[in-house]
Amino acid sequence: MNHEKKVKHGSQKFLLIDIGTGTRDIMLFSDSSALENNSKIVAPTASRMLAKQIENVRADLKIAGYTMGGGPLSSALNEHLKRGFKISIEPEAAFTVRNNLAQIEQLGFHICPKIHNPDFFFDEIELPRLMKFFNEMGDSCENLINIGLSVQDHGNHAADQSARRQRFDYFVQLLGKDPDLRSLVFTPETLPTMFSRMRSGVRCIQSHIPGARIVLMDTCISAISGCIFDSRLNYSSGPALFVNYGNGHTLACVIDGTRILAIYEHHTSMIKDQPDLINDHLKRMVEGNLSFEEVYESGGHGCQTFYPMSFNDLASRIVTGPQRSISSKLAIDFFPAAPGGDMMMTGPLGLMRGFDLIKGKENE
């Protein structure tokens, strides 16, 4: 599908930021340039960089700022406590560690309403730094108001609730009302209150660009959504199976147009060396014979099939994600999506598509 036919926004620019477990993938998109000529960055996440800095500190810490992706940063903070040092942290930054403040305090963190002169300020978006970089490279960010952000958000949950279950249950609730890709694309006004990391991202963006037009998606969903920008795909030919092998999570969806027929999520590290299990799960997910509980009990998030169909009736099978080499071990053949020749841009381009999906929904 030709992207010029899919997206038309005049001379507007869009800063599209997809923050995964390992990398942050960024594109400054303009319709005045060919897709391949848009400026882009693939770099380690800010959380990984901060984790390395904290590992080298031997002192008590004061931390302010916004919610970031946990992973290595959360591990580094917990290790710092185990070394006997104290950590005072603002509530919004504390959600980096877990999605429940009571549990964070039980781990030994001291929650402070406001911290002045912090040792570290948490900001995984780093909007002024990005805009400065693009400006210095000759790609102006003047009057930029369109910002797309995708992160992975497990949402707030009570101490006795499973973060995995709650995350997947909420996706199923949203899709249960309307099993459409547009149900998983948000603006600040439609963003569910439970998604604390996305909400923190909104506050961060608005602190720098008060009038920003913001679109938000889960990073797994944005990667799948952006695959259609690969001009080699005949995406309109019927239902397609999309699999995004991320560094942290693997998400699979069957999508027909924008209608989501089935959705499945697991941890990449748990399934990457089990090709037989992946083959089995994907086929039964498509055909409606894989239960939520079976996936959850195996360490995954869950599975929900809204409209079962024969696996043989799929029009295409498409793979993306930094761990997409896993698909080479499977008995199922996949087409590797690479919009503009770059697989790492499926996430940012999924956000670009999100602006169109939101516009279409508003016009209904």
Closest residue by Cα to residue 31 from 59, 3, 1, 69: 3
Q: Which CATH class is domain 46-122?
A: alpha beta
Look up the pTM and report it.
0.92
User: Same topology for domains 46-122 and 222-346, yes or no?
Assistant: no
For 101-157, write each residue's pLDDT tens digit.
Answer: 889 999 999 999 999 999 999 999 999 999 999 999 999 999 999 999 999 987 765
User: Mean pLDDT, to the nearest integer, of 294-300?
Assistant: 94
Report whether pLDDT(293) > 70.
yes
Phi/psi region, residue 342 (left: phi>0; alpha: psi -120 to 50; beta: rest), is: beta
Query: In this structure, what token pair is assigned to residue 308?
Result: 């079962």
Domain chopping of the chain, boundaries: 13-45+125-221+357-362, 46-122, 222-346
Which residue would you say has higher pLDDT here, 363 or 263? 263
What pLDDT is stored for residue 289 in this prediction?
97
Give the model's pLDDT for residue 232.
Answer: 86
Candidates 3.30.70.590, 3.50.50.60, 3.40.50.2000, 3.30.420.40; CATH matching 222-346: 3.30.420.40
Q: Are 322 and 22 in contact (CB under 8 A)?
A: yes
Instruction: Give yes or no for residue 193 having a pLDDT over 70.
Output: yes
In this prediction, residue 359 has a pLDDT band, given cuts at 50, 70 and 90, of confident
